[in-house]
Structure 1
Amino acid sequence: MENFLVRLPEIVIQLLAFAFALSVHESAHGWMAERLGDPTARWLGRITLNPIKHVDPVGTVLFPLMLAVLNAPVIGWAKPVPFVTRNLRNPRRDPALVGLAGPVSNLLLAVAAVALLLLAKGAMPGFRDLLVTLLREGALGAGGVAAPLVYLLFSLAMVNVVLAVFNLIPIPPLDGSHVMMALLPPHLRFRYAGLERYGMFILFALLWFGVLGVILRPFVNGLVWILLSP
């Protein structure tokens, strides 16, 4: 309990970064669907950065909170942004573009956060030591005012990289499944779509057996290497 209270500011920053990243991700789905001819997300108020509009009790609250407490990279999911396939200009191709919009938005946010961190790295003496301290100890008070800002930017970069990669896994209902559906021949699409009823169980199993860690670790390590390299 004492360790949890010590890490509470760090956990709050991670969850704030996650809520923002997820709101951008879901809004990007709705925005792309609207651009491709379907205004359903706009009508339902889902093109918004208000995270409350996107909350899924398990995927947006319980799952990421559990990971944050366990000091694992924060991932999760929101309520799916609805779109009507028949309203899209190209019903075969466009669902894949709608699906890709979310991960692409996360990658753009990650690039922006990394760019700001690299600027701070060049301008702030002791940046590398501060980041190492934050990653190892989570000591937000160690660097004065700079520490929470650096940790927030790092959390934004990390959460967005992890969300992008996680959502590209081709397991329904993740975004990668929309891309896979567009690539599969018609006789396999229906069977593949049937996996969605088991999707959450598959994802929990991948987490439990460490497979998600194997998938995500190279990207997490690559991000840390970029920021800590001389």
Structure 2
Amino acid sequence: MTTAAARRDRRISPVFLGIAALTAVAGWAVWTGFAGATGLAVFLFVTGAWVVSLCLHEYAHARTALHSGDLSIGSKGYLTLNPLAYTHALLSVVLPVLFVVMGGIGLPGGAVYIERGRIRGRWRHSLISAAGPLTNVAFAIVCTAPFWLDALDGVPLAFRYALAFLAMLQVTAAILNSLPIPGLDGYGVVEPWLSHRIRRQVEPIAPFGLIAVFALLWVPGVNVAFFDAIDALLGGLGVDEAQRYCGYDLYRFWRAFFGEHNPGCAVG
């Protein structure tokens, strides 16, 4: 019975499969220009892929914790890739999607609940926290591969733009979530190596770390410096600023109703 329960705990959720299927269909619609609804298709494709990456991000935390000693992970539903099973589904999925819609920024979400007392060894604690951002790095490598492999021949412009924008979201998520700010994974990496006194002092402000990052990005000087770094990194991978901008322009398909689309981003 234990084996059967363990299998149920690790069975991929129909919710996740549905999101992945919607993403695949939307990707096909972007590639083919189905029904001329390119903007809506880009929105569904990028949003779906972004949610899939969020699920994989949280799964990486959970799976690493499982192999590090927290056997309670399975019973919490974290290994099913179901975004509705997260302790804070609002923080883990809804807010990151809103950040994308509002500002085209891949801000990280909340984390799965891990019983740290079950885990021994500072390196294991650090690795659990690092597993999430590393997943975003892997996702970014996949998204940018056609660019740095110079394999874009035959790829429709709309799909190319969508990939460029999605790559930017993954890179921003990986970088922001790696910052050593309380509440983010970057702090989780260094926290096990801090003294007990420092950890106790930082603990009360940890819930506000994500809000602080979001607020800082609205400061013009910080915003410009951050995106200059993103431009340099993605540019080195062959993804230029124009492609990312056009991807974001297509993503906000509703702007077409107000005549606000950039004509330079036309795909057909």
The normalised TM-score by structure 2 is: 0.64
Question: Partners of 2:134 and 2:142 in 1: how far apart?
Answer: 12
* 8 Å CA contact retained: 2:54, 2:92: no
Q: Please report how far the alpha carbon of residue 111 of structure 1 lies from its aligned counterpart in structure 2 after TM superposition.
A: 1.3
C-alpha distance 113-189 of structure 1, shift in aligned 2 (>3 A): same
Structure 1: gaps of 5 or more residues: 128-145
* 8 Å CA contact retained: 1:109, 1:156: no
What SS class does the counterpart of residue 93 from structure 1 fall into?
helix
Q: What's the counterpart of residue 75 of structure 2?
A: 43
Large movers: runs of 4+ above 6 Å = none
Write the mapping of 1:1-230 to structure 2, written as runs, cut at 5 A: 7-54=39-86, 56-57=89-90, 60-70=93-103, 72-78=104-110, 80-90=111-121, 92-119=122-149, 121-122=150-151, 124=153, 146-210=156-220, 211=222, 214-228=225-239
Question: Partners of 1:158 and 1:83 in 2: how far apart?
Answer: 29
Q: Please report how far the alpha carbon of residue 7 of structure 1 lies from its aligned counterpart in structure 2 after TM superposition.
A: 4.5
Give the aligned length.
202
What SS class does the counterpart of residue 26 from structure 1 fall into?
helix
Q: Please report how far the alpha carbon of residue 197 of structure 1 lies from its aligned counterpart in structure 2 after TM superposition.
A: 3.5
What SS class does the counterpart of residue 217 from structure 2 fall into?
helix
What SS class does the counterpart of residue 25 from structure 1 fall into?
helix
1:186-228 CA distance string (max 9 Å, x none)? 2211112222143243233213224355335413442144225
Q: Please report how far the alpha carbon of residue 41 of structure 1 lies from its aligned counterpart in structure 2 after TM superposition.
A: 2.2
Question: Partners of 1:15 and 1:123 in 2: how far apart?
Answer: 22
Question: Partners of 1:56 and 1:213 in 2: how far apart?
Answer: 31
Q: Which amino acid aligns with 1:111?
A: I
C-alpha distance 151-46 of structure 1, shift in aligned 2 (>3 A): farther
* 8 Å CA contact retained: 2:76, 2:85: no
Q: Which amino acid aligns with 1:41?
A: I
* Aligned-pair Cα RMSD in Å: 2.8
C-alpha distance 174-228 of structure 1, shift in aligned 2 (>3 A): closer
Question: Partners of 2:181 and 2:54 in 1: how far apart?
Answer: 18
C-alpha distance 62-81 of structure 1, shift in aligned 2 (>3 A): closer
Question: Partners of 1:107 and 1:201 in 2: how far apart?
Answer: 23
Q: Please report how far the alpha carbon of residue 67 of structure 1 lies from its aligned counterpart in structure 2 after TM superposition.
A: 3.5
C-alpha distance 76-105 of structure 1, shift in aligned 2 (>3 A): closer
Which is worse superposed, 97-106 or 5-14?
5-14
Q: Which amino acid aligns with 1:43?
A: S
Question: Partners of 1:161 and 1:49 in 2: how far apart?
Answer: 21
- Give aligned-pair identity as a percent: 27
Q: What's the counterpart of residue 20 of structure 2?
A: none
* 8 Å CA contact retained: 1:103, 1:163: yes
1:89-127 CA distance string (max 9 Å, x none)? 31x3322111000011111121122223444x33606x6
C-alpha distance 204-153 of structure 1, shift in aligned 2 (>3 A): closer
